[in-house]
Structure 1
Amino acid sequence: MTGMFDDPLALSDVAVTVPSGDPAAAAAVYTAMIGEPESGTTRWQAGNGSLTVVPASADDDAPRVRFQAHDANAAQKLLTRRGLRPDEVRAVGVTAAAGARSGARVLDHVVFTAPSVDAGIALFGGRLGLNLRLVREFGPVSQLFFRTPSVVVEVLAGAENPGIALWGLAWHSDDLDAEHDRLVRAGLALSEIRAGRKPGTRVTTVREPALGVPTILIEQQPRPR
């Protein structure tokens, strides 16, 4: 009986939209960092989704993520039944196609904020149905790690966060030293390479406000045998 038990919220890739007050400047930085966008657009394909820069406006000034669902209409109806309206939490939603391209740069993870652990689990685990894999405590802030088949979703939960928002992006790097040198030579401002919070990772922060969202590059170091 095919289709009877299909889950419309079997979410996978992510389509990220970043509003910018200076789309040309944002496009220049993203091109240096990721590569050329799709012809005639300000959309960059990733191996597990896409990133699009749009002009910011008073009604559209915050970045957002749309998760790919195999049946976006059914997924949206289910989310509505679960009480998630597009005008209530604008930072997340669903799409029929996230625009991924095989072999393109990969988003290692996307980072959201939430006002509490309960709020984060209720939205990402309960309403969106993502797989909660790990919870870490760092003083007043908790890190929640969810997974889709293709991307990690990190949620920073703490009382200082007024609501659900897309806080940052982490792009995977195969060779962080070489990439750091390349981007610095291209004129981008980057932090020094440092150990990441996750054991076995190294990261650098891309200090370019034009990106529109806090951004790091992350390298997963091979585990010792």
Structure 2
Amino acid sequence: MIPPNPFPTAIVELACADPALAARAHEILLGLSGAPDPDSPGVVLGNTELRLRQGLVEEGDADAGHRVYFTVDDVAPMHRLLTRRGFPVVESPLGVIGETTPLGITAREAVGESAHAVDVTGMDHLVFNCDNRDRAVALFGGVFGLDFRLDQPIGDNARQLFFRAGDLIVEVVTAVTSTEPPTTAATSLWGVAWRSTDVEATHARLRSGGLDLSEIRTGRKKGTRIFTVRERALGTRTVIIGPV
């Protein structure tokens, strides 16, 4: 058991066609003693609180898809700041969320010890898609104030941006330019990467649990290995990453 993390950095709320099935898949994935309950508060794993809800991820429907809330000490002043920065928000059960963008803020509250007891210790990074590089920098760096660490090309008219929120990495894959006006699906959560202390042990555990996995491969980040968990029930693209 790793030491308790009293303040999660983010709440990741995954929209799932079948939350009960997603809960059982996450129970295996994260090594939980019990499945996350879709009808109760989420489970905390290190830097992240995971929640599941009924919903379908459909292009053009920001309200139905996955949502990410960054935790803050006081929601009210940050709410006002987001509004002054030109980011329209609406109230939600967890705090406030963007009207057309699945990013929001929630109160930073102390929690008990992390729910996991095995090799997966928290979220390594979240992966977002955005239709425009400058829009992504303005949103994640300017509006939400994340630490902008790296911008690199990854192909024709595409870039990979990295931000930090505490020890949580936010990766954004963007087009360099876009001639189209932004849509409700301009920014969306594309996938998640859970952090493991022992990739081989996690791979063996998940395979014995019946999950469909890729083979372990060398990660793009130096000194890491990674594998994909090919389970649609999880609700989003999922990988496990850890040190060599």
Alignment TM class, shorter chain as reference:
0.7 to 0.9
How far 1:150 sits from its partner (Å)?
2.7
CA contact (8 A) 2:8 2:44 kept: no
Q: SS where residue 77 of structure 1 aligns?
A: helix
Q: TM-score, normalised by structure 2?
A: 0.79
2:99 is matched with 88
The CA deviation at 1:197 is 1.2
1:177 to 182, 200, 210: 200
Residue 108 of structure 1 aligns with an amino acid whose one-letter code is D
Structure 1 residues 122-131 or 58-67, which shifts more?
Answer: 58-67
Does the 8 Å contact 2:24/2:36 carry over to 1?
no
**Alpha carbons of structure 1 residues 62 and 70: separation in structure 2 relative to 1, 3 Å:** same
Unmatched 5+ residue regions in structure 1? 1-10
Q: Deviations over 1:78-133 (max 9, x none)?
A: 00111111353431110003776545531011111111210110100111111111
Distance 2:155 2:169 in 1: 22
- Map 1:15-94; keep pairs closer than 5 Å: 15-34=11-30, 35=32, 36-37=34-35, 41=40, 43-56=42-55, 60-86=63-89, 87-94=98-105
Residue identity opposite 2:21 in structure 1: A
| Equivalent pair of 1:145/1:152 in contact (CA under 8 Å) | yes
When structure 1 is superposed on structure 2, of 81-90 and 15-24 the one drifting more is 81-90
Q: Report which stretch shifted further, 212-221 or 152-161.
A: 152-161
Say if 2:206 is the partner of 1:168: no
Moved more, 57-66 or 17-26: 57-66
Shift of 1:43: 2.1
Alpha-carbon contact 1:49-1:99 (below 8 Å) kept: no
TM-fit CA distance, 1:55 = 1.2
| Counterpart-to-counterpart distance in 2, 1:107 and 1:180 | 16
Q: Which runs of 5+ in 2 are unaligned?
A: 1-6, 90-97
Residues 164 and 207 of structure 1: CA distance in aligned 2, closer, same or farther (over 3 Å)? same
Quick check: which one's strand share is greater?
2
1:152 to 153, 166, 169: 169
Tell me which residue corresponds to 1:7: none
What is the number of residues matched between the two proteins?
211
Provide the residue aligned with 2:132 in structure 1: 116
Equivalent residue number for residue 212 of structure 2? 189
Q: Separation in 1 of the partners of 2:227 and 2:110?
A: 26
Cα RMSD after superposing both structures: 2.4
Q: Which structure 1 residue ranges, 4+ long, deviate > 6 Å from structure 2? A: none
Inter-partner Cα distance in structure 1 for 2:24 and 2:132: 36
